[in-house]
Structure 1
Amino acid sequence: MHSKHREIINPSTIHDPFGYTHVVIPKGKKIVYLSGQVAWDRDLQVIDIGDLAKQTDMVYQNIQHALNEVGATWDHIAKTTIYTTQPHEYAIIGAATAKFFGDAPPPAQTIIGVTGLALPEFLIEIEATVVMDE
């Protein structure tokens, strides 16, 4: 995969990544930090309690709205940090990541298992670092 906004490196001496990139070198000059997004809708209602796939989709929808607001695309995301109460469900998380990133290479990524998030109904929270030209 090729990225216009990031140099993508996956060393041959490390296992092949699935749903993330081992090394990302941003090419932009402006750094934007997106706060951790959770499965809240616009009215602060937790959506799909107990469903990691649907909550992850909602989180990525919220990230899409933030990207739109600053004029960025998924390709501008250099790094995500994922906090989840279900860290072993990386196939579910990876499927949502692939859906939203589409043809853009996935970012560098860390998944952290936690015992809880801001509300007990939240199963996942994702924060992102975006790098843009201006």
Structure 2
Amino acid sequence: MDRQIITSPRVTPMRSGVNHAVKAGGFVFVTGVTPFRGAERMAATIDKGDLVAQVRQVMTNMQAILEEAGTSLEKAVKMNVALTDMGRYAEFDATFKTFFKDGNYPARQTTESVRLAHPDFLVSIDCIAVA
């Protein structure tokens, strides 16, 4: 099976030993996308404390990664969401749904994760999409 590494120049480069995504077997597997804004790691910013802004940035970054792989959010089949505060689920969900046509949502699991990879992250989302 062929395997293609996907990196978007519009998304902050990964610091850990992962890539933005890997395309294989007719799918794109996107690493947990973070709310960093900016294509340069040292200049990247984050909207501290603002869940809605962070969800929007995560989904914007996700779109850029999927587009780089030749697909889109419309072809997302499964997402895993990590929220630092499940008490803000409704706020998260309302923002998340704006990125999809009504009813065309991927399968999704949302869990609470007290600590994410950066102390200012409130959300991280990974994705599997049809290539």
Q: TM-score range by the shorter chain?
A: 0.7 to 0.9
Question: Partners in 2 of 1:80 and 1:103 — Cα distance?
Answer: 17
TM-score normalized with structure 1 length = 0.72
Amino acid at match of 1:41: R
Could you say what secondary structure the match of 2:71 adopts? Answer: coil
Candidates 18, 27, 30, aligned match of 1:31: 27
Matches within 5 A, 1:120-131: 120-131=119-130
Amino acid at match of 1:34: V
Contiguous gaps of at least 5 residues in structure 2: 1-24
Question: Partners in 2 of 1:94 and 1:62 — Cα distance?
Answer: 17
Q: Which residue matches 2:8?
A: none
TM-score normalized with structure 2 length = 0.73
Return the structure number with greater relative CO, CA threshold 8 A, min gap 6. 1
Q: Which residue matches 2:9?
A: none
- What is the CA RMSD across the aligned residues, in angstroms? 1.5
Post-superposition shift, 1:104? 6.0
Matches within 5 A, 1:34-49: 34-42=30-38, 43-44=40-41, 45-49=44-48
CA contact (8 A) 1:40 1:46 kept: yes
The aligned length equals: 104
The percentage of counterpart residues that share the same residue type is: 30
Highest Rg: 1 or 2?
Answer: 1
